[in-house]
Every structure is written in structure tokens, then in C-alpha cells.
Structure 1
Amino acid sequence: MTVGGVASGQSTPRQQPGAEVGFYAPEQHDLYDGHWVLSASRLYQVGRLDDPSGWDHIDNDASDVHAVDGTVEIDVNEIQNTGTFVARLQLTDGELVLEIDRFNEFSPCQDGGIAASIYEHGDSGCGDTNWPKTFIFLAGWGFGHATLNGETLYEDYQMHFMITQGMRDRETLAVNYPLVDKRSPAGAVNPATQQIDFFIRSPENDARNNPTRRIFDHFFGMEVTWK
């Protein structure tokens, strides 16, 4: 059996087994201009910049997350894979600024570096399993830099942002993943909420850490505004 040209039971970035709702992809709409303008607030840092090796900067149980002041501004064209992502964050270390310099496709599901209306993570067939499967409203991948108090901190590091369904609980901020006694093929998320996750990571690895990178600075926001 096939559904929309995809064999039943097969996972793709646009179709997942057992899904009961189908809708048109953005590019199927005559009026789709690809221009996304969003901002995010109620921001949190996972861990700290100077954590010693052995850290968990995914932290699904939210045992080491810290509210931070700041802004996240996204202004991108998903069709052209161009635009800007800038996060300005007030940390205990000072002002951290993260900025994507160029978008880049590391995997075919990333659609040139900016993608809209796809599934990612978990058992979706796109992305890693650090997070549960979720519908991605908008995501970007690429290379960027970070400054701390105006001084270069990282240069030409991989960066990623994603606007997702609610992976973290509104109150506890924990991610219930893997979900015990999960009954549905849908991801372990709350579709009544939205959030943003974003990170910058080093090319060098360190097996003592989760994820296994020497640097993996991870942030999330619990409020997303579409403009």
C-alpha cells in the first residue's frame, strides 16, 4: 500500500507511519513566499559554558537548565536558503552572541540548509535520536560563530535551530523521552505547545560528553512569536 507515493510504514521527512492527518507542503501553495520571520523568548541555557568534561548538554530531565535573558531573531527565506539567525544572550559569563554565517545542508532531509514542515529526530529517519520525533515548523543548519563580551569565542562551528512541537513540559521543562509504555507512533511531544532549540558545536569530539562533542552549547526557548 502506498500513501502519497510513499509505502505504508516507511518514514520520510514529510510522511510518517500511522499519521491520520495530511496537509499540503508549503511549496504546494501558490502564495508561499518562503519568508519566515520569528522571534523567541523565555530562554534557557543547558549547563554552562565552562562545564568540565563529562557534561550532559541535552539534559532531558532538566536538572541543569538556567533561565537567561536575551533575544532570538530569525529572518530567513526557506526557498533560497538565505537569511539570518541571531541569538543575543545574557549569561553569567557576559553577553553571548550566536550567529549563523552561512546555511548548509549536511543531510538530504535538510533541503539545502533551511527546511519547513518536516519530521526530525527520534525514529523519523531524519536527524539524530537525542530528541523525540517532532514536527518541525522551520529549521536551519549551517556554520556560524559566537562572541562573548565582544570577543571571538568560536569560529566556523556547526549551528542548528529548530522550531518544534512542545518537547519540554511547560512547567518542569523536562522531556519525557523515551516515553515509557508509548502507545502511538507519534513522537513523545505535546502538539499544544511550541518551542525553539538551538546550539553551536565544535568539530572536535569528546566521548566523555553528551552529545560527544568537545563543545556543545545548547539553548531552548519556550515562547515563539511568528511575525
Structure 2
Amino acid sequence: MEVTIFVIASLAAFVVNLSMAIFVYLKNRKVARNKLFSLLCMMIGTWCLYPTIMASNLDAHSMLFLIRIIYLFAIFCPSIYLHFILELLGEAKRKRHILFAGYLFSLTFAFLGFRDWFIAGITSSNVYKYSIVPGPLYTVYVSVFAAMIIYGFYVLLDKYRIWSGFKKNQCKYLFIGFLLAFTGGLMHFLSAYGIEEKIPHDIFLVMFTSITAYSIVKYRLMDIRI
């Protein structure tokens, strides 16, 4: 394996997100929002291993198999993200029909994850050693993924508008953090369509974790006290 800046960023994002997942879970493992955020960080961190796998010396068949497993984690990111946002804002019960639709989407694509309709194969890449070839349903997945993330942003901004003090600042930094994470995800998706990354998208996932850590220390996000 050639160790490039993309591989280094990939491994760094994996480590910091997994560390954040463990930290938040241990701070209060009985509260739903903490468990959801920990699960989300674990999913994101595992997804961040994509560039490392693509730069490996595995044969094409093994690489495709591992990438499809990695995408199982990516598939559940938007539904868990939205569940966390609604739980944190006290909207989860009132909007459970939206959560049901989100998890149904994730389960459907998890079922399709090992079929060529979703990821058709892999091809050579100038940035990574290989890149995925999107199947016909990949664009559907990306579109619904984006819609769920944007809806979460809308709910956050709505609460930001009416809240004040620490709660308002928590909303602000959570929005900034998730916006950075979404930017990284968008760069990843675009690379599947031949738009190559100029900088590693995983840098944005490290920034997401850093912003979250700052919000925890400064504004007691998720009622975590240091």
C-alpha cells in the first residue's frame, strides 16, 4: 500500500471518530441521544476507511467485497444522524413517521448493498488506486441521503432561531460540525462520478469531530461536562 495524504487523513478520521464515539457513550450510556451520537460516529469512522481500502494491494474481488461492507455503514449514517438530531431537539416522538421512513430507506439499501444495481464494480483512479463504479440506484441513494441531511439542517436552524444562550450555541456548533461532515460526504460521492478530490474529504470529518469536541467543552453539548 502506498501511504498518501488520503490514506493518512482516512486513518486519522477513523481514529478520532471512533474515539469520540467511545467518549460520548461512556459519559452517559443510558441516554438515547448519547447512544445515537456514538453510533453515528462509529458509522462515520468506519466509512472513513474507504480511501485506505482503495489504496490497498487487495485483488479487485476482495476490494469490491470490502467496499460494499463499508457502504453498509454509510447507508445508515443519514437515518441515525436524523434520529440523533430529532432526539436532541425533543422532536423524535412527534416525528417518528419521518424516522420510520428514514430507517426503511437505510434497510432497503442495506439489502441492495451487495448488488450491482447499487455499486456496479470498481475502476482505476488517479486519486485512490481504485474508485467505485456507481450502479443505477447509487444516484437515488445519494439524493435521499442529501435530502435527509438537509432536513436535519432545517430542523436545527429552526431551533437555533428560537433558542438562546447555551442551547443556541450548541445548535450553532452542531450545525457547523455536520455541515463540514456533509461537505466531506459530498466530495466522496462526487468522486464516484469522476470529479476527483483535490484535498482528502476525510479532513472535513476530522474537523467535524474537532468542532463537536469544542462544543462539548465550551457549551456542554449533550449535557456532557468535562
TM-score bucket (shorter structure): under 0.3
The answer to which structure has the higher helix fraction is 2
- TM-score normalised by structure 1 residue count: 0.23
* TM-score, normalisation: structure 2: 0.23
